[in-house]
Amino acid sequence: MKSLILPRAEIGNDESAQDLYGLGVRLGSYLQALAMILYLYGNESNYGKGLKVASGSITVSILASWFSYAAKQEFSPSEAIVVLMILMSLSFPAKYTLLNPRTIMGEAIGVITLLLTELGTCAALLWTFGSLVHSLPPLGTPNVVFFFSPVSLTGWFRYVALVYLAVDAISSLYVAYRMVRVVMIAWTAHAAGRTEANAAERDAIVNTIKWSQDQFALTIMLWLVWIFSIIAVETTLHWNGLTPLNDLRSPGQLIPFITGVILLIDSVSVVSREFIPWYTKIMVPIWSAGFILFYMYPSTFHDYFDDLWTFNFNTQATIYATSYLS
């Protein structure tokens, strides 16, 4: 199905294109989801620390904007679906962190943000396929979505999606109930002045979550969902003739993109410590001192730091590198 040939100003909503699914937002989400998957290959006992809050805070803020646009009917159904697909690609790996009971203690806020994301995304999808596909203005789009081929949001796919989402809503409520129980277990330990779960509490968390512990199968599923989400988002944008903001210099695009890049670098570093013997001895001190960044982007450092600080920074980096390479 070919996209409608209309001027860009007549296709979609420029504000939602900039705020919710611009190039920086999409790339940042993809990179953050990729980083969360790569963290799986690091230290198993530490996987998930901080990721709940990092993912949940982003998804909750985007969901709040999504509901605002939907209530005011300021974007098209295809744009609404695109944003929700981006959110799911980011929230799905974050939910996997609940399988590690060691990292739940002290992260009750992170679990709550995951809970809000789970319920909010479920409600948004039901609202979209239940009524928004008809009530939202098309804004020049043919209102098609990726399902291995372009399918109409108002055709048979809508009814299939509603059946699936009804079942998913029931399961989401059960997942939400289990998340609340996990928070209560964590809060009990926190009230007792402990930051680590004891054996009984870890067993209670595992029995409460009741998700499959087959890490290989779940890891494969994470990769497939990540790849499918990227294909679905990008093809849906293309088929609907949507060309969101591609200027990464905009703060709204640059911030999520840089966040994704930093998380990806950190995840690669974590994995490297596990599988590359010489990485910890050589690369970690060099990265920490900023040696590589200084010589790759000297002009950037000179723009933000004075000459004296830069000289001292360069000296310390050289000392680190020399001591570990000698």
The confidence score (pLDDT) of residue 258 equals 86
Q: Where are the alpha helices (DSSP H) in the chain?
A: 14-19, 23-39, 51-72, 77-96, 108-127, 133-135, 156-191, 199-209, 215-239, 251-275, 284-289, 291-296, 298-304, 307-325
Exposure on the CB side of residue 215, measured as CA atoms within 13 A: 10
**What is the pTM for the complete model shown?**
0.72
* CB neighbourhood size of 180 (10 A): 13
CB 290 within 8 Å of CB 321: no
Boundaries of every domain in the chain: 8-275, 279-325
The confidence score (pLDDT) of residue 312 equals 40
The confidence score (pLDDT) of residue 125 equals 87
Task: Report how far residue 22's alpha carbon sits from residue 3's, in angstroms, rounded to the nearest whole number.
Answer: 19
Task: Report how far residue 82's alpha carbon sits from residue 288's, in angstroms, rounded to the nearest whole number.
Answer: 38
Give Cβ neighbours of residue 79 (< 8 Å, ≥ 6 apart).
12, 13, 16, 17, 20, 21, 139, 141, 240, 242
Secondary structure percentages of the chain, helix, strand, coil, to 5: 75, 0, 25
CB 240 within 8 Å of CB 141: yes
Residue 152: DSSP 8-state: E
Closest Cα to residue 21, out of 82, 90, 88? 82
Hey, is 142 helix, strand or coil?
Answer: coil
Mean pLDDT in runs of 10 for the chain (326 residues)? 45 70 84 84 63 73 87 84 87 71 65 81 86 82 84 84 84 78 72 66 68 68 88 88 72 80 83 64 52 47 41 40 38
The confidence score (pLDDT) of residue 149 equals 83
Question: In the block, which residue shows the tokens 């004891």?
Answer: 198
